[in-house]
Structure 1
């Protein structure tokens, strides 16, 4: 999957594309709300990234959890079915893309998103790592969703936006028994540390010899920190592929509900070339990165 070190293009922010399509994702379930109400929109968003050149698309399960769906009135059974549906919809988008593009050189992969505990809490704690939860509760939360997603047709697991050492330790343990390969990516506060202040080099060392984790990386992190973070990953786990898909780096202004900063596709392409030179294998985007950015990244680094 990552063994030949050729550049691999990831997708961008699924929620960003859904909002661009005009969908309201303001509920506690975020993009996962559309798994029930507008599954066609999720397929269309995945397809937009595939058409832009993405070779890996990530399912709409980032903020999906049994507890979260139950809180919105779904049954336990319905909640599990909707989490499974997130992968099915990504597979449907892939099928449509491959039918329309039979000459494609590389079959796109579907990664089942495993978001952090904080994402399901819908309180922003995935960006701080401040959790009011025990290690046993954290393990139970992740194990429940892993069991569901490991039984789907996903090609691999994407454990994303991990902000704490404790959560990394939990996933390192659980993933050892997974039938699927995985990547683990961290949310970082600067060019050296993840959100809870732990050095990235220290947390990546947990996975240095991990048998199921093929790649380590960063996401939902400002792009100006990424080159430094790539170096930290390579020092800590030199045999793992490096995967990076940061946000746009823009600043959100609550008082005016607006953004400022550079959100041009050219900036994404320039960054991608630098990250590739620094040692990243897989490159894409997160919040505020849409299909036009992914197309620019593809044109800049794909071979």
Structure 2
């Protein structure tokens, strides 16, 4: 069974809003209070995109559900719950369209994102904060999402095993919830912090196999994916991958560069599926249109299997 999740949330939302403060300390989380409808419209674009043509039939056959990653406000827990509850209402309506409930995954991102120094992509902060401090920071956000009724947690873009361990221990405080966990990676073998990817993934399953639905990587160049998955060797657990488009983020310019070097992810999909990846989606710069292409490819592949 292959499960298709959504693509890049921030990239699509920015195009819905058009004008906003890109230097705002909360980045796109600001929309939770300033323009909540933009949040809803972005998620709706992904849901409706997966319904086009005859995909609803193949969605049922492949048991594919759209996984929605809800953005987390780093300063206030209330917006999280507000948006999640609003989406429960929209989700109820989507059952009429799809004949099946759309699952909502509440996004739990790295602690470093609140520091506004780029350390969420290095994990440098893990050398100066304790596991307790990380747990105390994440707990109210996870609590707000759980109380709002998300189906599971999307613990994502985690740069270091140290933070992953803290989060998976914290997850045990929410026994009724499942989660996937995905690392950001600096190369084809290591997490952003430098942990060996294979060892980090295996450690996650050791800590909390009861609540994990998948472990893998996100926010990585598509070219990293196959080597990362191959580094796992033979595995008997679900792997999740949602890669970027392949562009490079220029910190000084605050924009994506190397757009001319992008290779369509569909060129990689066959190998990813052959390697046994179970959960597949997109991250930065991936859109509902891209996910439609993924859906078409997965559907076509299933028909010839």
Q: Distance in 1 between matches of 2:219 and 2:173?
A: 27
Q: Which residue of 2 aligns with 1:143?
A: 139
Change (3 A) 1:135 1:31: same
Which of 122, 126, 148 pairs up with 1:128?
122
More divergent stretch after superposition (226-235 vs 182-191): 226-235
Q: Which residue of 2 aligns with 1:261?
A: 259
Q: Distance in 1 between matches of 2:261 and 2:39?
A: 23
Deviations 1:147-171 (A, max 9, x none): 2222221110010011012101101
Q: CA deviation at 1:261?
A: 2.9
Q: Distance in 2 between matches of 1:214 and 1:245?
A: 15
Contact kept in structure 1, 2:245 and 2:264, CA below 8 Å? no
Which SS does the other structure have where 1:239 is aligned? coil
Q: Distance in 1 between matches of 2:291 and 2:260?
A: 15
- Answering whether residue 55 of structure 2 is matched by residue 57 of structure 1, we say no
Q: Over aligned residues, Cα RMSD in angstroms?
A: 2.1
Give unpaired runs (5+ residues) of structure 1. 1-5, 70-78
Q: Which residue of 2 aligns with 1:114?
A: 108
Q: Distance in 2 between matches of 1:111 and 1:189?
A: 25
Q: CA deviation at 1:96?
A: 4.2
More divergent stretch after superposition (51-60 vs 219-228): 51-60
- Answering whether residue 149 of structure 2 is matched by residue 176 of structure 1, we say no
Change (3 A) 1:140 1:257: closer
Contact kept in structure 2, 1:112 and 1:157, CA below 8 Å? yes
Deviations 1:58-91 (A, max 9, x none): 1122xx22xxx2xxxxxxxxx2221212322433
Deviations 1:193-235 (A, max 9, x none): 0001100111112222421111101101111000122233464
Deviations 1:128-187 (A, max 9, x none): 111042222112112222222222211100100110121011012112332200100000
Q: Which residue of 2 aligns with 1:242?
A: 239
Q: CA deviation at 1:25?
A: 5.5
Contact kept in structure 1, 2:94 and 2:101, CA below 8 Å? no
Deviations 1:28-67 (A, max 9, x none): 1122111111111110000111122271111122xx22xx
- The equivalences for 1:43-122 within 5 A come to 43-53=40-50, 55-61=66-72, 64-65=73-74, 69=75, 79-99=76-96, 101=97, 104=98, 106-122=100-116
Q: TM-score if structure 2 supplies the norm length?
A: 0.84
Which SS does the other structure have where 1:208 is aligned? helix
Which of 145, 152, 155 pairs up with 2:148?
152
Number of corresponding residues: 278
Q: TM-score if structure 1 supplies the norm length?
A: 0.85
Contact kept in structure 1, 2:3 and 2:278, CA below 8 Å? yes
Which SS does the other structure have where 1:171 is aligned? helix
Change (3 A) 1:23 1:231: farther
Q: CA deviation at 1:111?
A: 0.1
Q: Which residue of 1 aligns with 2:3?
A: 8
Contact kept in structure 2, 1:83 and 1:149, CA below 8 Å? yes
Q: Which residue of 2 aligns with 1:20?
A: 15
Contact kept in structure 2, 1:268 and 1:296, CA below 8 Å? no
Give unpaired runs (5+ residues) of structure 2. 51-64
Q: Distance in 1 between matches of 2:104 and 2:254?
A: 37
Which SS does the other structure have where 2:202 is aligned? helix
Change (3 A) 1:252 1:40: same
Q: Distance in 2 between matches of 1:276 and 1:191?
A: 18
Q: Distance in 1 between matches of 2:42 and 2:199?
A: 36
Contact kept in structure 2, 1:129 and 1:163, CA below 8 Å? yes
Which SS does the other structure have where 2:296 is aligned? helix
Q: CA deviation at 1:255?
A: 4.2
